[in-house]
Structure 1
Amino acid sequence: MFTFANNANCTHAQYSVRKYKHMKFLFIIILAFAFNAALGQTNLISFSGHSTAEGLNQPIRSTQDQGVNGIEVSYHFDAAVQTELINKSEVFQQLSIKDFSHIQEVGRPAMPAHIDLVAIPEGADYELVISHDVALVRSGFQIYPALQPARDTEGAPEPEFEIDRDFYKTNALYPSEPVTIKGIIKIRGLRYAMVQISPIQYNPSTGQIFMHENLNFELRFSGANRFIDCSQHSKHALSVLSNFPINGQSIKKEEQKYFINNALPLTTGNSKNYIIITHANFLAAADSLAKWKRQMGYTVEVVSQSSWTTAQVRNAVHSRYANWTPKPDYMVIIGD
């Protein structure tokens, strides 16, 4: 049990406690004010023209998969989040859409965007057709620029502010189209179109944004009768390939049809699931890994040499991939 020596000391202690609480409260207010000054306010803006949005709903996507003839895709958007960001007294707005990322062209406006992967049939030509309603135009925007990606390193500084001032004087829509093909990637011989959906376009010169409540696009295919040669791939590989694109069901149907008609697929070239590349010094470890994988049901080949060059490793893998049917699924390198 503690007691104060006299009432004067007690009064002084109570005053010190009150003063501490008062200073702590003022510090919290100042900190909150500084935080709000940096971020500004956040609110929802509607795609439909209403003064306020009812809520931030996930965009609605519907698809009509037409197999080797193409795919039709429709998007509906309700609202976007508008956040004010301040850099050295210059006010910007950042626009965000639920489950969408942003265009990452450093220094240029970070507009909301999303990539849909669409599988392209083997040997097919393709054509992108876009349709959309009349855009809702809003004024008074200076969109925050995209910055360099943050480094995933402890203690690394935040990306510095960068802006392409010349681009912000451009009197043209960015991006130029609400739907574009950003590129074609190839995985195990199957092509995928990277279709970018950008429901908000921006004119940096006028400060106007153009909001598309409904976006529709069709990727049309011609000149093909299948997506992939299923005989060249394992069931596992086909299941992975069909999980990437939004028209993956078409690949699954081809896969199911193939394995119904080919219960025991033909294998050539001593095909294996696993390739293990190793130095002779680590052969025992490689053999142990191979034994474990075989117990799990995989087929494995261990390739060992007393020395390796980069070209030799590449050739060892490429030659097996080119000559084996089905293609190998995994490759492991053991060394130091």
Structure 2
Amino acid sequence: MSISCVSADAGNHRFSDSWGKQGLTLNRQGTDGISLNFSIQEFGLTSREINGQVMTGIEFSESFLQNEEGAPDLPGFGRYIAIPKGATAVVEITNMRSERYTNIEMAPAPRIPLDTDQGPLHFEKNSEIYTRDAFYPAKPVTLGDFSQIRGVDVAMLGVTPFQYNPVTKELIVYRDMEISVRFEGGSRQFGEDKYRNRWWDPIMEDAIMNFGSLPVIDYDKRVSAATRGTGYEYLIIVPNDDIFYQWADSIKKFRTEEGIYTGIVKLSEIGANVNAAMLETYVNNAYNTWDTPPVAILLLGDYGQATANNNSIISPIYDNYCVSDNILADVSGNHMPDIIFARITAQNADQLASMIGRFLKYERRPPTNPSFYANPITALGWQTERWFQICSETVGGFWKNVLGKTPVRINEIYQGTPGNSWSSAQNTSTVVGVFGPNGLGYIPASPASMGGWSGGNATMINNALNSGSFMLMHRDHGMETGWGEPSYTNSNISSLTNTDLCFILSINCLTGKYNWGSESFTEKFHRYTYMGQPAGALGLIAASEVSYSFVNDTYVWGMMDNMWPNFMPQYGSTPESRGVLPAFGNAAGKYFLRQSSWPYNTGNKEVTYNLFHHHGDAFLRVCTEVPQTIAATYEPTIFENETNFTITASPNSLVCLTSNGVILGTGVTGFVTTISITIPPMSAGDRIKVTITRPNCNRYEGWVDVIPMVTSAIAGEDMAVCEGTEPRLNGAAVNYTSLLWATNGTGTFSDATILDPIYSPSAE
């Protein structure tokens, strides 16, 4: 352990002899604990003018968000740690090096504003902290926020590698730390296996530092319905009107055939006049007691009161503030989703046909026009004191510089003048350091070099959508009926002619307020048709009330990294493409946000968890490249009672075999593209449907006929033998389980039950 004192010069401070790479690195993991290294290779001290006084700020690449309002604005972050069942986790710094800086006037963190706030950021020191002769925070490493993610006990490991004493004006920088987390007692078993599944694992792998300690599960062994017991992987809750059930059944058939065990429940099966509390109790019970807890739940119906169960489904209200299906998704009580929730706000048969038909058609045969995939759209309103422009352009820059797209930029100015600085907000230098030319290279150092910040309008948005685009992200202000800048509202949607559908990320305020008395922007976009065909949006993510700045942007970056794991390669895992599933990205963005600058700003984050909703099917997969054809080779017939099916298919394909709507077996190809899938014995005359899904590919569907088992055997070619010799049969047989040779003579076989016995003629 070492401590040294240095001068506090402004600018970047670098340590060339760090113990490890920048940030937190996992060195060892096991059932007894983990060991980690934390190092700072570089951080910045910057000058900030706060309320007329020049103060010091810190820029550090591992932390996007500021500290708690009014506290010294020290960067920090958290990462989830999985803990064995029943164990106690104990954290300890086993070794460290630090530097002490003197005569520092540390700036306080500002209040995180609502997106609708128009004034400058508000700074006010927390007098309780700033008048105390003590270092803040008390410890650089803490362990807290004990909770669960899909049945796995977790805790948040928080690292704030800076401590500040506001009375003595001293700043301690923990440049290197070796950290140990011991697991004392417990079962040495991580989590409860029934909550694990192939769709949640990517979220958990990104969020949990020691995910590799969790048991590896063969999800294909769970397939047999006979062994599933109660519950469904995908649950669709519908109003009591039969038309909703009929359309839900179309989704059930579609998802079941691709290997997602799907069920439907009417509100009448939950109770009479189902209110929010009753619905939450039902969901909690399903998650806690079913043998197969829901992976995802779709609410198929618009918002409505408990007295309108025939054609709508109610939702809870968060903190008397916003309508929130996230309350239903949160079973463990920590405001985080334990179940993926989605809603399709259809009100009648026509809307059901449009809103469900659009994604079924899209997933079977996605658009094929190359320009549809080449030109994603970013639309933003510039506001100098916010990160709207940074958030939008980092996404567009990733699409351009990593995916090779040509984004269509449609921008307008809300407030301020674009110049050499991306924003006047705190931590902007950190964000630019991560995403700018010295980091991932998604944005330039100066926004002035990009241009195109003004002039965007509704006509340009409609032209871009009508020309074709797989995704659009808007970042600015919003209202119940549309976007602020560039202005685009419900009335403008009526000019769309795009039957190649775009997924919309509406990152703003109020556009997803599905409990509004009239048709909200999200509902209009999602229900829209052109000449009787689905048009407008394939699906949307939007907020149901006024949202907070900065935390929204951080949420977006986490969501993007789930959909494209190489968006932030320094965070979590970077597996091969697992497909763009926005509903799962919505949940992942919330987990990323919770870890950012933990344990600070919990209230603003909590609002964000409850605001943002996915509108569309929960397992909707967005195609981001020209769809390819899946190659598959297998026998067109299979004999009755066979229990193995062999197939060769494109790498990273999910193969599902069904018969009469029942899943028989699943398998996943990888580097090895030929797999054998175990199935139950089938009867002659049955048909097996083969469905194969793979990111950015057309859905494959084929059939296999089950034929009778026909047994035949031959003893070999005729032969002439001399007296005294004993010939050996050259036998062959097919489709048999046992055999018994017989002769019409009086000789004998050495073993009549094998293919090639010796025949001994009799003396007669």
TM-score range for the pair, normalised by the shorter chain length? 0.7 to 0.9
Name the counterpart of 1:36.
Answer: none
- How many angstroms does 1:58 deviate by? 6.5
Q: Distance in 2 between matches of 1:314 and 1:166?
A: 40
1:174 partner letter = Y
Percent of residue pairs identical: 24
Q: Distance in 1 between matches of 2:223 and 2:259?
A: 16
Matched, 1:276 2:242: no
Name the counterpart of 2:277.
Answer: 311
Question: For structure 2, which runs of at least 5 residues remain unmatched after alignment?
Answer: 1-8, 303-764
Structure with more contact order per residue of length (Cα contacts < 8 Å, sep ≥ 6): 1
Question: For structure 1, which runs of at least 5 residues remain unmatched after alignment?
Answer: 1-40, 50-56
- How many angstroms does 1:60 deviate by? 4.6
Name the counterpart of 1:167.
Answer: 129
Deviations 1:6-62 (A, max 9, x none): xxxxxxxxxxxxxxxxxxxxxxxxxxxxxxxxxxx961134589xxxxxxx971533
Matching residue within 44, 54, 76 for 2:39 = 76
Q: Aligned pairs, how many? A: 284
Q: Distance in 2 between matches of 1:174 and 1:93?
A: 15
Moved more, 269-278 or 95-104: 95-104
* Helix, strand or coil at the partner of 2:133: coil
Contact kept? 2:129, 2:136, Cα under 8 Å:
no
Q: Could you state the TM-score of these two structures normalised by the residue count of structure 1?
A: 0.75
Name the counterpart of 2:294.
Answer: 328
Matching residue within 286, 291, 304 for 2:253 = 291
Matched, 1:200 2:166: no
- How many angstroms does 1:134 deviate by? 4.5
Contact kept? 2:23, 2:62, Cα under 8 Å:
no
- How many angstroms does 1:214 deviate by? 0.7
Matching residue within 48, 64, 70 for 1:107 = 70
Q: Distance in 2 between matches of 1:259 and 1:288?
A: 25
- How many angstroms does 1:194 deviate by? 0.8
Moved more, 311-320 or 235-244: 235-244
Against the structure 1 CA distance between its residues 319 and 167, is the aligned structure 2 distance closer, same or farther, given a 3 Å change threshold?
closer
Against the structure 1 CA distance between its residues 132 and 175, is the aligned structure 2 distance closer, same or farther, given a 3 Å change threshold?
farther
Moved more, 264-273 or 164-173: 264-273
Moved more, 143-152 or 155-164: 155-164
2:13 partner letter = I
Matched, 1:126 2:89: yes
* Helix, strand or coil at the partner of 1:196: strand
* Helix, strand or coil at the partner of 1:122: coil
Contact kept? 1:61, 1:76, Cα under 8 Å:
yes
Deviations 1:197-255 (A, max 9, x none): 1111111111110111111211101222211232443333345434321111111xx12
Name the counterpart of 1:18.
Answer: none
Contact kept? 2:161, 2:174, Cα under 8 Å:
yes
Against the structure 1 CA distance between its residues 233 and 48, is the aligned structure 2 distance closer, same or farther, given a 3 Å change threshold?
closer
Name the counterpart of 1:67.
Answer: 30
1:235 partner letter = R
Equivalent residues in 2 for 1:252-263, closer than 5 Å = 254-256=215-217
2:12 partner letter = L
Name the counterpart of 2:193.
Answer: 230
Name the counterpart of 2:178.
Answer: 216
Q: Distance in 1 between matches of 2:246 and 2:119?
A: 45
Contact kept? 1:202, 1:208, Cα under 8 Å:
yes
Q: Could you state the TM-score of these two structures normalised by the residue count of structure 2?
A: 0.35
Q: Distance in 2 between matches of 1:329 and 1:263?
A: 14
Contact kept? 1:74, 1:214, Cα under 8 Å:
yes
Q: Distance in 1 between matches of 2:198 and 2:165?
A: 48
Matching residue within 52, 57, 75 for 1:89 = 52
2:144 partner letter = K
Name the counterpart of 1:22.
Answer: none
Moved more, 313-322 or 64-73: 313-322
Against the structure 1 CA distance between its residues 58 and 142, is the aligned structure 2 distance closer, same or farther, given a 3 Å change threshold?
farther
Name the counterpart of 1:52.
Answer: none
* Helix, strand or coil at the partner of 2:122: coil
- How many angstroms does 1:70 deviate by? 0.3
Name the counterpart of 2:204.
Answer: 241
Matched, 1:300 2:262: yes
Deviations 1:250-309 (A, max 9, x none): 11xx124x669x576884433311111121233344333333322332121111135421
Q: Distance in 2 between matches of 1:294 and 1:183?
A: 37
Name the counterpart of 2:510.
Answer: none
Against the structure 1 CA distance between its residues 191 and 103, is the aligned structure 2 distance closer, same or farther, given a 3 Å change threshold?
farther
Contact kept? 1:269, 1:323, Cα under 8 Å:
no
Against the structure 1 CA distance between its residues 328 and 98, is the aligned structure 2 distance closer, same or farther, given a 3 Å change threshold?
same
Q: Distance in 2 between matches of 1:58 and 1:107?
A: 31
Against the structure 1 CA distance between its residues 149 and 63, is the aligned structure 2 distance closer, same or farther, given a 3 Å change threshold?
same
Against the structure 1 CA distance between its residues 239 and 230, is the aligned structure 2 distance closer, same or farther, given a 3 Å change threshold?
farther
Against the structure 1 CA distance between its residues 331 and 156, is the aligned structure 2 distance closer, same or farther, given a 3 Å change threshold?
farther
Contact kept? 1:184, 1:193, Cα under 8 Å:
yes
Against the structure 1 CA distance between its residues 330 and 284, is the aligned structure 2 distance closer, same or farther, given a 3 Å change threshold?
same
- How many angstroms does 1:107 deviate by? 0.6
Q: Distance in 2 between matches of 1:73 and 1:174?
A: 23
- How many angstroms does 1:314 deviate by? 1.8
Q: Distance in 1 between matches of 2:169 and 2:26?
A: 33
2:91 partner letter = L
Name the counterpart of 1:190.
Answer: 152
Instruction: Considering fraction of residues, name the structure with more helix.
Output: 1
Q: Distance in 2 between matches of 1:243 and 1:325?
A: 26
Q: Distance in 1 between matches of 2:197 and 2:25?
A: 30
1:330 partner letter = A
- How many angstroms does 1:119 deviate by? 0.7
- How many angstroms does 1:312 deviate by? 2.4
Q: Distance in 2 between matches of 1:58 and 1:71?
A: 18
Against the structure 1 CA distance between its residues 277 and 231, is the aligned structure 2 distance closer, same or farther, given a 3 Å change threshold?
closer
1:299 partner letter = Y
Name the counterpart of 2:536.
Answer: none
Contact kept? 2:153, 2:191, Cα under 8 Å:
no
Against the structure 1 CA distance between its residues 239 and 87, is the aligned structure 2 distance closer, same or farther, given a 3 Å change threshold?
closer
Name the counterpart of 1:53.
Answer: none
* Helix, strand or coil at the partner of 2:259: coil
1:93 partner letter = T
Q: Distance in 2 between matches of 1:207 and 1:121?
A: 42
Contact kept? 2:26, 2:34, Cα under 8 Å:
yes
Contact kept? 2:110, 2:123, Cα under 8 Å:
yes
Contact kept? 1:118, 1:193, Cα under 8 Å:
yes
Contact kept? 1:267, 1:324, Cα under 8 Å:
no
